[in-house]
């Protein structure tokens, strides 16, 4: 069949698209920002049917670099990108923002203790919270990536009373994804055949990677993760102890320290996988396309503001197993039976988060006294 040059191509009908989202990326000129921007532009973050207005925020010295990134976005000819703004102004950045990807933060430098790091980041996230409170969309969804992610998220919410608490999250999906790969590799199955892995607590070395509820699809059917690991092990096939030893001695510490190991090997932080995790986190939360949400009967890990689930202090930003309904409401998966080891881990990571929160309140009082 011949085609006339006057025939129109098959454009996507406007009514098939969702309303556009104004998406802010802070620290946009950095490594993670550079890896994240094409994912936002292509629809991998807000969903494949959602147009985006992209706002890139960074310090004044980074603005020339951002202009080069704008040229690359333009040269990518992304159909979903409606506009691009670069700025070093919090007012411009947060005005009308509907999705805030908080990538920019102060990195931990040699010789810094935790209070030094928190002091630097408190100033950044206090300002960000106030700017979002003043200028942002009232239903803005927030994903904090910059470390210490849980406490930075807490700080931002503490300074943004007008946005609902359930709209504030921090990234533990990278840890979740790392756990998925480690488990799938050990069970000798594709990652897509693993479900119900959980990361509890803080995005730090105290996080609790948990496979006790995990399921694996194998040639023999869907089985527990422990059964799948046991069947795949070349040694100790009849030993539950060997499975437990691998989980506690290899799996858990590998997931907990993977970021440091990437830095050791690559000499740079894990920017690509972090950006991919942000995309997974936000897409599962916001996408209007059913196939881009959390799988049915599965869950993912998200840092959210605790309401006291599993005995965790309300108000802390804590990573839980969550499911997300069709309206984008995040719900903690409750009534899971936890092992004694996991329960102990939850208490330890909760204590660390409470310590960071208290340290922030001390810093907040010191900063107020200086004004």
Q: Give the catalytic positions in this structure.
A: 203
CATH code given to domain 173-354: 3.90.110.10
Domain 17-170 has CATH 3.40.50.720: yes
The first and second tokens of residue 349, run together, are 């990571």
Question: Using the 8-state DSSP alphabet, how is residue 61 labeled?
Answer: G
For residue 302, the model assigns a pLDDT of: 98
Nearest to 255 by CA among 203, 299, 298: 203
For residue 108, the model assigns a pLDDT of: 72
Residue pair 318/312 in contact (Cβ under 8 Å)? The answer is yes
For residue 6, the model assigns a pLDDT of: 67
For residue 254, the model assigns a pLDDT of: 97
pTM beyond 0.85: the answer is yes
Per-residue pLDDT tens digits for 169-227: 999 999 999 999 999 999 999 999 999 999 999 999 999 999 999 999 999 899 999 99
For residue 328, the model assigns a pLDDT of: 95
For residue 101, the model assigns a pLDDT of: 98
Nearest to 145 by CA among 247, 61, 316, 27: 27
Which residues of the chain fall short of a pLDDT of 50? none
What are the backbone dihedrals phi and psi of residue 302, each rounded to the nearest 5 degrees, phi first?
A: -140, 140
Residue boundaries of the structural domains of the chain = 17-170, 173-354
* Euclidean distance between CA atoms 110 and 56, whole angstroms: 28
Nearest to 197 by CA among 235, 229, 160: 229
What is the helix (H) or strand (E) element at residue 199, kind and residue range?
strand 198-200
């Amino acid at each position: 069949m011949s085609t006339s040059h006057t025939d129109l191509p098959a454009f996507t009908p406007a009514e098939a698209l969702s309303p556009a989202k104004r998406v802010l990326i802070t620290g946009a000129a950095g490594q993670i920002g550079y890896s994240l921007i094409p994912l936002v532009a292509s629809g991998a973050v807000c969903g494949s049917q959602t147009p985006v207005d992209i706002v890139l925020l960074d310090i004044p010295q980074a603005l020339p670099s951002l202009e080069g990134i704008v040229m690359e976005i333009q040269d990518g000819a992304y159909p979903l990108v409606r506009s691009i703004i670069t700025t070093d102004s919090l007012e411009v950045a947060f005005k009308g923002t509907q999705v805030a990807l908080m990538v920019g933060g102060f990195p931990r430098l040699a010789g810094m203790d935790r209070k030094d790091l928190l002091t630097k980041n408190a100033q950044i996230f206090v300002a960000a919270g106030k700017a979002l409170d003043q200028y942002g969309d009232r239903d803005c969804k927030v994903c904090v990536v910059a470390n210490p992610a849980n406490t930075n998220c807490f700080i931002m919410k503490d300074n943004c009373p007008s946005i609902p608490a359930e709209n504030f999250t921090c990234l533990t999906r990278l840890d979740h994804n790392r756990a998925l790969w480690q488990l799938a590799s050990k069970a000798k199955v594709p990652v897509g055949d693993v479900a119900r892995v959980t990361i509890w607590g803080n995005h730090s070395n105290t996080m609790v990677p948990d496979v006790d509820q995990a399921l694996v699809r194998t040639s023999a059917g869907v089985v527990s993760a422990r059964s799948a690991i046991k069947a795949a092990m070349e040694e100790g096939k009849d030993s539950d102890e060997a499975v437990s030893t691998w989980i506690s001695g290899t799996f858990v510490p590998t997931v907990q320290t993977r970021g440091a190991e990437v830095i050791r090997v690559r000499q740079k932080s894990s920017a690509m996988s972090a950006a991919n995790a942000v995309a997974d986190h936000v897409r599962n939360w916001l996408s209007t396309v059913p196939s881009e949400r959390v799988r049915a009967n599965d869950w993912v890990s998200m840092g959210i503001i605790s309401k006291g689930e599993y005995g965790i202090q309300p108000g802390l930003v804590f990573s839980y197993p969550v499911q997300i309904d069709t309206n984008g409401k995040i719900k903690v998966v409750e009534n899971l039976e936890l092992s004694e080891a996991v329960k102990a881990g939850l208490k330890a990571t909760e204590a660390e988060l409470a310590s960071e929160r208290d340290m922030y309140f001390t810093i907040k009082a010191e900063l107020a006294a200086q004004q």
